[in-house]
Structure 1
Amino acid sequence: MIGELFRLGEQKVRPGVYVRWFNDGALAKYSRAIGIAAAVIKSNWGPLEKAITIEDESDILDKIGSGYGAEVVKEIFQGGAYTVQVVRAGTGGALGEIVLKDEEGTDTLRLGTKYPTSRQFTVTIRTALDVSEKEFIVFEGDRQIEKLTFKSGENEGNHLASLLNETSKYFDAVVLENEGSSIAAILNESVKGGEDPKVTAQDYVDAFGVIEKRFFDGITVDSEDPIIHASLQAFVNRKLREGARFTGVVGEKITVPFETRKNNARSFNDFAMIYVGNGFETKTGGVDGAKAAGHVLGKMVSASYKSSLTKKTVRGSVGVYGELSSSQYNEAAKNGMLVFSLNPDGLAQVDYGINTLVSVASEEDDGWKKIRRVRTRFELIDRVAFTLSKAMGSGDGIDNSSDGRQYVITVANGIINDMIMEGGLESGELIVDEQNLPKGDAAWFKFRDLVDLDGIEKLYLAFGFQY
């Protein structure tokens, strides 16, 4: 990955662009986004352990079915994400099957669902309005989800099998015998035997290995299990070390005691992990846990890198689900728990746009506690690292000379100036690291006076009245 971390004084074996951060004056920083999220879920439809792209909320049912995992993905879109990369976790399960017979009652075609599933389908085969054709219709409950028309008469079995294998979203077909016979009519005959796969914590870990091949700005899971949350954190941290900069978002149900939620949030202590500790009310009920985390993820990735989540309202909300007391809101803020509160209009809002970092390391500062400033820092690192990596690979590369090093400085400072104009940074410049002089094919640089902007989130107003 471009932008892999290096320790001060470390000599890397491979050529590349390496980055580190350090506390240069205890100034805070943060944010980034292009609208792509990722989710690892359990579901009742879709390929197992394979990344698929969902570009619209209306495609959720066709691509991943229904259930809690699908609801989490829906909340990611509701939060504002443009695209969600999804992996269906699990192994095993069973395909649903139905056998079609000919007019004499002989088994002719075996249809199997494309994926292991518990979805309840029924199939109807009937003569079309044009009597030279027949219709193959699939229902899920009372909803028609697919209708295909095939030619009746000779070779109906082959015609229908080819049609299904080429165009059906739901079934594959295998010809058994008498493929030349006509297919007997059936009405709402059930597809039987289907089962969803079993899903374990290891299946989530395996799915992380699949999703890492895609690009995204943040990732979540459809689980409130702390073991799975820890696995997600380990994945996010591994990818950060390898040069991928994105954020993990998890949530916990409001039925979990507040003290437990607070301690669970604090235990992450990680600027790359966000913990959502309560939820919001809608007209159809409360949204908390993994679904609330999905909504926060959607809000985060769809906003500008310099946009703060603090006080951002939840569209369609009618209140807070699991509202806290004033002291609990303070405790949440001190322990890295992102929560929802009421705004003056009675809508749910993100109370404070924070991640789970509560105790900063020596190479960090308090800016790493804020979602906006982390994303700003990630944005700067990515822009500089990717731009310089391309420069190293073009033409004759960059000479390790005073001119070559000045070119690196010019490129980086140009990016800084761009981000100052965008309102993401206040100041900063790249210089040669005077404590690590250039040598051979290696050159060390550092940014100084780097100040990323925060939003005004705490207003202190003094009113001086006279009579």
Structure 2
Amino acid sequence: MGQFYLENEEKIRPGVYNRYSNRGTTNNTGAVYGIVAVPIHASWGPLEKVNLFTASEIDKLKAMYGTSGTVDAALELFAGGASKVYVYRLGTGGTAGSVTLKDTAVDTPADVLTVTALYPGQRSLSVTVREKLTDATQKELLITDGTKILETFDFAVKEESTSEIDTLISNVAEAGSQYVKLTKVAEGGNGEIAAVSNVALVGGADPEVVNSDYSNAFNAFEAYRWNAITIDSCEDDVKSLLQEYIDRIYQTGKWSYAVMGDPTSVGWANRLARAAQCNDKLVIYVGGGWNDSDGPVDGYRAVCRVCGLISSTPANQSVVHSAIPGAVSLIENLSNTDYEDAITHGMLAISMDASDTVQLDAGVTTLITPGENDDDGWKHIRRLVTRNESMDRVDRALSPLVGKVNCDKDGIAIAIQAAQKVLDAMVGEKKLADGASFYVDPDKPAKVDSAYFIIDEDDIDSLEKVYLHYRFRFSATA
């Protein structure tokens, strides 16, 4: 009977001995959907830092950035279907609001404690200091936003040898605050903090945001993995920066795309012209809006919700005639000619079907005139997503092999097997047509440390146009 042996162990008796180990798991090269990056204006939150939120962490997002400014850009992404959103608060400078509390001296109360907001911005925070109703030996500091209590910190009432200021600072430091920091003004005073009610932190100012802040945001996002990026602005300069950015990082292997657009206040002809001017397979231009139950959704909000919808749609499905979550009616009524013009100009228009469902009328990128290495497939969002997914998944399948296998026939065979497995999976997922193959480039033989391959694949498009021919006949006889 076989027994187990330990590594480097030598048995005494003749026989068969066994051991096992984990040789590693297969690299996960599944598709990545619904992950979006967006920069925002906000009156609260960390500046120039990227934070990730999932669809179940919307309350966490609001707690970190508040709800003013363009925080709704991130919320619209989730409303559209995004599963994860990378958020970056734009701007530099600004001022954090503060208030200085006094002691309880009767004649000349002394400044004893400064409460300062953690972040610069105009968010309206207030503080309350009061005795705790349920315990006469305790007081409490309340941080509030309007009528909402955000945080509460208890601290002991001053005794002969103690200071309420020191105790409160220590308690807040130990518990941690998401909203304020406390600073002792100076030694002195009587050691007691005077009661106050809803005293506002004043002097807060939002940071200044200029175009270069968007460039900083884009560069910060580059270190993270996402499949779409959008912006909280419809300004032409910002859109140009985004297009330049997505084109640049695509060349470095960031298989993604950008979504931008304009509000309906921009004339229809101008929207068509702006979309066509992009002429970019990596840019999707949203040229319309809609009404939901709370009113119009237009401009960057419409762009972001559509971005969430597109980013979460798998490559074996099309966004053509996809219902827009929450939309109930159209902002503008367009003719058939208008919708055809939108398609030929590379613009996503919003339409309504026979069941009064508000939807994306088509699924086009802004590519109008393909370049030398492009084909008409890049004009379709589904094919853009499929091709991005194919390159991304093959890259992730082969990356673990770099530097780990020999550049000989055996190593090349391992690479072919790994990549072909991805293509076969995508065929099975109805993203690629049968026959997708990965093989050695016959015109470029392997070198000492380099091998060249060709990937032949046909991406599948959706049925978008149905042509019906009715052949009627009138018969005079029964």
Query: What is the TM-score normalised by the length of structure 2?
Result: 0.87
**Structure 1 residue 149 displacement after superposition:** 2.3
1:64 correspondence with 2:73: no
Correspondence for 2:9: none
1:25-174 matches, within 5 Å, as 33-55=32-54, 56-104=57-105, 105-129=109-133, 130-153=135-158, 154-165=162-173, 166-174=175-183
Preserved CA contact (<8 Å) 1:250 1:289:
no
Counterpart position of 1:14: none
Residues 180 and 208 (structure 1), Cα distance of their counterparts in 2 relative to 1, 3 Å cut = farther
Contact 1:164 1:171 in 2 (8 A): no
d(CA) in 2 for partners of 1:59 and 1:312?
A: 29
Question: Which residue is equivalent to 2:461?
Answer: 454
Indicate yes or no: 2:286 matched with 1:287: no
Question: C-alpha distance in 1, partners of 2:358/2:61?
Answer: 25
CA deviations 1:115-139 (Å, max 9, x no partner) are 1111112211111121222221222
Match of 2:450 among 427, 442, 447: 442
Change (3 A) 1:123 1:103: same
TM-score normalised by L of structure 1: 0.89
1:238 is displaced (CA, Å) by: 1.5
CA distance in 2 between counterparts of 1:147 and 1:247 reads 44
Deviation track 1:200-259 (CA, whole Å, cap 9, x = no partner) reads 001111121112122111111111101001111111111111111111111211101111
2:394 matches 1:384: yes
Q: Compute the displacement of 1:157 (Å).
A: 0.8
- For 1:148-190, what per-residue CA distance to the aligned partner results, in whole angstroms no more than 9, with x for missing partners? 2222223211222233344211101111134871211101111
> What is the identity, as a one-letter code, of the residue corresponding to 1:407?
I
Mark the CA change 1:363 to 1:48 in structure 2 (over 3 Å): closer, same or farther. Answer: same
Quote the Cα distance in structure 2 between the aligned partners of 1:281 and 1:347. 12
1:418 aligns with 2:422: no
* 1:240 equivalent in structure 2: 250
- Higher normalized contact order (CA 8 Å, seq sep 6+, divided by chain length): 1
Q: Does 1:183 align with 2:193?
A: yes
Map residues 175-214 of structure 1 onto 2, 5 A cutoff: 175-177=184-186, 178=188, 181-214=191-224
Matched to 2:47, the amino acid is L
Quick check: which has more Rg, 1 or 2? 2
Give me the whole-angstrom Cα distance separating, in 1, the residues matched to 2:137 and 2:464.
70
Moved more, 300-309 or 41-50: 300-309
- Does residue 1:464 correspond to 2:471, yes or no? yes
SS at match of 2:433: strand
The percentage of counterpart residues that share the same residue type is: 33
Q: Which runs of 5+ in 1 are unaligned?
A: 1-30
1:321-332 equivalences in 2 (<5 Å): 321-332=331-342
> 2:104 touches 2:190 (CA, 8 Å); kept in 1?
no
Q: Secondary structure at the match of 1:425?
A: coil
**How big is each residue's C-alpha offset from its partner over 1:398-417, in whole Å with a ceiling of 9 and x where there is no partner?**
32x33333332222222111
Q: Counterparts of 1:172 and 1:197 in 2: how far apart (Å)? A: 19
**1:429 corresponding residue in structure 2:** 437
Mark the CA change 1:179 to 1:362 in structure 2 (over 3 Å): closer, same or farther.
Answer: farther
Number of residue pairs the alignment of both structures matches: 433
Provide the secondary structure at the position in 2 that maps to 1:452. Answer: coil
Q: Is the contact between residue 158 and residue 180 of structure 1 (CA under 8 Å) also seen in structure 2?
A: no
Unaligned runs of 5+ in 2: 1-29
Q: Residues of 1 paired with 2:272 and 2:60: CA distance?
A: 36
